Structures are given as C-alpha cells and as structure tokens.
C-alpha cells in the first residue's frame, strides 16, 4: 500500500518512522511519503492560507495550492482522506475498509480548514473523497488524525503485526465488544491476584470468563456498543451477565 501525507508540518509525521509502522515501511509493505505542502506554493512567502470570504475569525487554506499538490500526488486508484472535525467519525470498520486500498492520500488541513471547493472538485472529478473526524473535539490540524489513520490502517496490512491472532480479539473487533482485562506475571502484585480461572488451564472456562468480562466492561463503559449488538450474537449466559 502507498500512503501520501500532505502537510505544512512534515516533522509532525516523524513518529511514523518508528515501531511497527516504521518497520512496515522498511519491509516494503507500506510505501509512506510525507510532503511539505509549501513545495507547491509559488509566491515568495510560500503562502498556503487567506482570510475567509464572508468574514469571521481565522484563516482558510487556499484551494489553488491544494489543487496543485493533489494533482501531482493523486493516482487513478487513490482514495483522498480529509481529516476534519466535521467529517464522519473514523472507527475500526473504516480502518478495515481502508486497509484494502492500494493508495491513500491524506491532506492535513490547518487553521479553519481547507476551502470547501477542494473536496467538491475532486469528488466531481471521480476521486473517492472521505472527510474523517477522530471524534467530537477540535484539534489544531489534521496531522494527529493522519498519524491515527496511518497506524490504525497499517497494523491491519498482512505482515505488519507479528501474530495476526492479536488482531482478532481486540476491542472494536468482530465481537462488537471492548476487550476483556489482561494479566501477566507475577501472579500476585501489591496484594492483587490474577483471577484464578486464568491460572486454571481450563480453556472453555477461560473463554467464558473473558466473554463475561468483555460484556460487563462494554455495558459499563460503552452502553452504545452494547445496544448496537445484533441480539443473535448473544447466548443465554450472555444475557445473565
């Protein structure tokens, strides 16, 4: 997969050279390219923004600069992602869908955002454009969202996470539940003991305990996820939890 990130702060994306995403890049699984948007400016001051038509606070990013950059970077298969607090909320199903793409282009806006004609123009030109929000809060720009999207997508690419089984049971996975609590050695720490069942070696009982805990946690922390569950996936014991 190829991912291009366009930003006025390329250094913000430096952490993508670390850890699993960095290794995926080195292994040739992920071709990650970070570009400085100012490379596409033509004036002495390398201007990327201007005042909003209609008035109001802040600055808006100019469509001509974004257009020049995106014309160079987009390929015929590219899916253009525009991080914005007014986008659709980015969640695990979107990460899975994006992991099947061959080319993602992430355009990081700053200030009050990118002139709305940029999304409109590329949609009209037949480019798939998704405006994505990390959640209901406002960041200073799209760079943190780009970090989040790249990491969430890259770890789903075959060969990135060492043991693919670790992708199966995690929170926001197929079960639609949060993950159960996890424990490791030592079995007793500061007076707190690992639940006996996990030391029992009894696989069926362990699986049941984990499902009960996942259900309890989800009910307490994310009742919205519990109500969204298909009742068909619940067994008789689940209903008692």
Min dist. Cβ of residue 52 to ligand ADE (A): 16
Bridge partners, residue 141, by sequence:
110
Report helix, strand or coil for 114: strand
- 73 labelled as ligand-binding? no
Closer to ligand ADE by Cβ: residue 113 or 160: 113
Q: How far is the CB of 149 from ligand ADE (least distance, A)?
A: 9
Q: Among 134, 86, 90, 88, which Cα is nearest to 114's?
A: 86
Q: Tell me if 55 is assigned to a ligand binding site.
A: no
Gap between the Cα atoms of 166 and 164, Å rounded: 5
Contact 106, 83 (CB under 8 A): yes
- Tell me phi and psi for residue 177, to 5 degrees: -120, 160
Ligand-binding site membership of 70 (annotated)? no
Pick the closer one to ligand ADE by CB: 67 or 87.
Answer: 87
Nearer Cβ to ligand ADE (74/106)? 106
Q: In the complex with ligand ADE, which residue's Cβ is closer, 8 or 141?
A: 141
For residues 19 and 155, the answer to whether their CB atoms sit within 8 Å is no
Supply the minimum distance, in Å, between the C-beta of residue 45 and ligand ADE.
24
Beta carbon nearer to ligand ADE, 132 or 160: 132
Q: Cβ of residue 176: shortest distance to ligand ADE, in angstroms?
A: 23
Which distant-in-sequence residues (6+ apart) come within 8 Å of 121 by Cβ? 63, 67
Residue number of the CB atom closest to ligand ADE: 83
CB of 115 to ligand ADE, least distance (A): 15
By the 8 A CB rule, do 48 and 37 touch?
A: yes
Residue 139 assigned as binding residue: yes
Omega of the bond prior to 183 within 30 degrees of 0, cis?
no
Residue 134 among known ligand-binding residues: yes
Q: What residue ranges bind ligand ADE (CB under 6 A)? A: 83-85, 133-135, 137-139, 141-142, 145
Residue closer to ligand ADE by CB (options 61, 142) is 142
Smallest separation, CB 2 to ligand ADE (Å): 21
Q: State the burial class of residue 109 (Cβ atoms within 10 Å of its Cβ: 0-12, 13-18, 19+).
A: buried
The two structure tokens encoding residue 168: 């199966």
135 is in an annotated binding site: yes
Query: What's the CA dihedral at 122, 126, 127, 131 to 10 degrees?
Result: 70
Is 138 marked as binding a ligand? Answer: yes
Cα 86 → chain centroid: 16
- Feature table: binding site for S-adenosyl-L-methionine: 109, 134-139
Tell me the binding residues: 109, 134-139
């Amino acid at each position: 997969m190829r991912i291009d990130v366009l930003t006025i702060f390329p250094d913000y994306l430096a952490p993508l050279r670390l850890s699993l995403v960095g290794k995926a890049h080195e292994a040739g699984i992920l071709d990650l390219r970070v570009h400085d948007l100012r490379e596409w400016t033509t004036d002495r001051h390398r201007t990327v923004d201007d005042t909003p038509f209609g008035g109001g606070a802040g600055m808006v990013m100019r469509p001509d600069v974004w257009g020049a950059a995106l014309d160079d970077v987009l390929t015929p298969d590219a899916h253009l992602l525009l991080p914005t607090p007014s986008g659709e909320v980015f969640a695990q199903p979107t990460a899975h869908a994006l992991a099947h793409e061959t080319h993602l282009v992430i355009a990081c806006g700053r200030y009050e955002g990118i002139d709305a004609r940029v999304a409109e123009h590329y949609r009209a030109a037949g480019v798939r454009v998704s405006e994505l929000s990390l959640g209901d809060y406002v960041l200073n720009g799209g760079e943190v969202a780009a970090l989040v999207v790249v990491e969430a997508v890259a770890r789903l690419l075959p060969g990135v996470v060492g043991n693919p089984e670790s992708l199966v049971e995690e929170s926001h996975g197929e079960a639609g539940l949060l993950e159960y609590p996890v424990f490791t050695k030592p079995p007793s720490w500061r007076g707190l003991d690992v639940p006996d069942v996990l030391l029992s070696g009894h696989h069926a009982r362990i699986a049941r305990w984990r499902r009960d805990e996942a259900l309890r946690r989800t009910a307490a922390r994310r009742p919205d996820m519990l109500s969204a569950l298909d009742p068909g996936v619940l067994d008789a014991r689940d209903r008692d939890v």
